[in-house]
Amino acid sequence: MSGEHSSSKLRNIIKSLEQGMEDARGLSKSLSGTGLMDRLMCAVLGAGGSPQRGHLAAKGILSQFVDWNEVRVSGPTSVSEAMAAAGLPDSAARARTATEFLGNLFRRYGSMGLQFLKDANPSDTKRFVTTVSGEDKVLNAAILLVAFGTPVVPPTPSLHRVCGRLGVCPPDASAAQCAKKVQSSLPAEMLLDSYNLLESLAERYCHPESPDCKRCPASAQCPSARKFLKAAEAGLASKCGSRTGGKIESRDAKARGADGARISRKERAVRAGKKK
């Protein structure tokens, strides 16, 4: 597939996702009025999935704590409980990642103030990210994209899955190659919103097992949809089969008396008062 063709294919998919998941569009606009610390935590809490989920988690946590410093000193258990109470998924793992990140930030820089990043250039921000979050490629790319607007796409397993199924990348492409493909196929200003839409697609419809292709907003453009729909139909057929089995069982039950012993058709008719 030529670069131009794959870029227009991906743009069309993104358009369908915008139309089919209206509540997942325009994340960059919602984040534009928030401070750097909030955006950082949105990236950290959403890493590995949709940044929108991270945004919701960050808002949910902040509704129960005074600020991110209180979150840091409260520890992962309290944060996890607060997240679970707000109905946020994966609360334990995300709370651990968030408090670890805040702890590293405080230990390394002695405060939660990020004024020193105000005029940071791209290599300063990259250094800051690896200093605080280590070598986790997915987390680092999520922070760079969501918090700093750097045009990089996190190589998550979920992005790898949806890009493979949608035919955006060749089937044998690695997660890193898929992320690079998305990155190079879209303009920088579209990356955050598009990445959020693709991750939301993975969370809502394109599950690892039994994707919900029937309701998926990208099914018309997805070369894998037919295969999955056929498999789902086959699953339905086996359920129909078990219903047929139910009829056979009920016929069989009628052919037996109360004690379970098999009785003849003639005898059944006599018992039903049809024959004397």
Segment near ligand SF4 (CB under 6 A), from 66-74, 135-143, 159-167, 236-244? 159-167
Stretch that binds ligand SF4, among 36-44, 81-89, 213-221, 267-275 (CB under 6 A): 213-221
Q: How far apart are CA 223 and CA 209, in angstroms?
A: 17
Residue 8: CB minimum distance to ligand SF4, A: 18
**Token pair listed for 139:** 């987390």
Handedness of CA 89, 90, 95, 97 (dihedral sign): negative
Q: Of residues 162, 168, 175, 179, which one binds ligand SF4 by CB under 6 A?
A: 162
Phi, psi angle pair for 262, to nearest 5°? -65, 135
* Residue 213 found at the interface with ligand SF4 (CB under 6 A): yes
Q: What are phi and psi of 132, to 5 degrees?
A: -85, -40
49 with 203: CB under 8 angstroms?
Answer: yes
CB of 220 to ligand SF4, least distance (A): 8
Contact 50, 196 (CB under 8 A): yes
Stretch that binds ligand SF4, among 88-96, 152-160, 181-189, 209-217 (CB under 6 A): 209-217
10/75 Cα distance (integer angstroms) = 41
Cβ of residue 162: shortest distance to ligand SF4, in angstroms?
A: 6
**How far apart are alpha carbons 105 and 53 in whole angstroms?**
22
Residue 219 within binding range of ligand SF4, rule CB under 6 A = yes
144 binds ligand SF4 (CB under 6 A): no
Cβ neighbours around 221 below 10 Å, total: 18
Distance CA 100, CA 86 (A): 21
Neighbour count for residue 268 (Cβ, 10 Å) = 15
From candidates 40, 41, 61, 216, binder to ligand SF4 by CB under 6 A: 216
Please report whether residue 141 would count as binding ligand SF4 according to CB under 6 A. no
Q: Of the candidates 129, 165, 179, 196, which one interacts with ligand SF4 according to CB under 6 A?
A: 165
- 17 near ligand SF4, judged by CB under 6 A: no
Q: How far is the CB of 222 from ligand SF4 (least distance, A)?
A: 3
Q: For binding to ligand SF4 (CB under 6 A), which residues are involved?
A: 162, 165-166, 205-206, 211-213, 216, 218-219, 222, 224-225, 228
